[in-house]
Amino acid sequence: MFRSLLLLLATAAFVTAADKPLYVFDNGLGRGEVTVAQQTQLAKRTGYAGVFYAMPGNTPEFLAAHKNEGLHLLGIYTGMNLSDAKPGYDPSLPAAIEQLKGTGAIIGFNVNGKAANGDELAANTIREVADMAAKSGLRVAIYPHYGMHVARPEDALRIIEKVQRPNVGLVFNLCHWLRSGDEPNLDLRLKQVMPHLYLVTISGSEHDGDWDRLIQTLDKGSYDVKAFVRKLESAGYKGPMLLQHYNIKGDREQNLRASMKAWRLF
């Protein structure tokens, strides 16, 4: 009886781990090299729940491909450049937001470039995007990117405070956070971001270095990504997890399968 109970619990734990959805960034699917339909088919074939796409102007294609494959379109990735003569959002973004109405998609938004009043420009633009997104039932997640104006979670939190919109949060990017050298402060950082955390990106990684070390398949790297995910869960995170495969060398499908195999052991 006791052995049967242990077997039942073990089986339940395995099913939970295996069924936990993992999404994939389109940079791991051949963005710009193969069609949207082929990218989405690859995601489906390798076990991913859906895709997070760049280039909002292609949103109708994203939606159609996901419908055909029975996947969930996680969101689109866009942003602004403060160095532009007239900084603002992508002109195709309003139509994309309207097309995504009712999907629950996340609008990932980075802030690049430099300007003396960068925070104010960013806040004004993101506020406008957030108001459009709210009408479609969508959320906006500020995307910290190493080397940009919003480079760290603390930068995103500063902008969120200025924006003052309930549908604006942030993405926690494991590779960009490690690149910033903030690893010793993980507990503090998670405590700060958790009330605003909409999305987390992961990849196999070392503890430091350039992108070839910080972005690997999930079965590689000395950084304990499984422990990172467990810590997120313990802190109360229940949102989506997104695989980052930017510029990983080798066969695209084999890389995706390697990461999915590792994920199913999480």
Give the least confident one: 10-19, 109-118, 232-241, 247-256. Answer: 10-19
Asked if pLDDT for residue 259 goes beyond 90, the answer is yes
Tens-place pLDDT, residues 171-189: 999 999 999 999 999 999 9
pTM passes above 0.85:
yes
Task: Answer for the pair 208, 178: CB distance below 8 angstroms, yes or no.
Answer: yes
Task: Answer for the pair 203, 245: CB distance below 8 angstroms, yes or no.
Answer: yes
**Span 19-263 CATH architecture:** Alpha-Beta Barrel (3.20)
Asked if pLDDT for residue 108 goes beyond 60, the answer is yes
How is 113-157 classified by DSSP, letter by letter?
A: S--TTHHHHHHHHHHHHHHHHHHTT-EEEE---TTSSS-SHHHHH
Tens-place pLDDT, residues 63-93: 999 999 999 999 999 999 999 999 999 999 9
Read off the pLDDT of each residue in 159-165 and give the average, rounded to a whole number. 98
Read off the pLDDT of each residue in 151-159 and give the average, rounded to a whole number. 98
Rounded to the nearest angstrom, the gap between the alpha carbon of residue 195 and the centroid of all alpha carbons in its chain is 17
- Which two structure tokens, joined as six digits, stand for 64? 């159609």
Residue 50's contacts (CB-CB under 8 Å, 6 or more residues apart) are 21, 23, 24, 43, 66, 71, 72, 73, 74
**Which of 112, 182, 121 shows the shortest CA–CA distance to 153?**
182
pLDDT class for 11, splitting at 50, 70, 90?
Answer: very low
Asked if pLDDT for residue 230 goes beyond 90, the answer is yes
**Domain boundaries, given as residue ranges, for the chain:** 19-263
Q: What is the pLDDT of residue 20?
A: 87
Asked if pLDDT for residue 9 goes beyond 80, the answer is no
Asked if pLDDT for residue 10 goes beyond 90, the answer is no
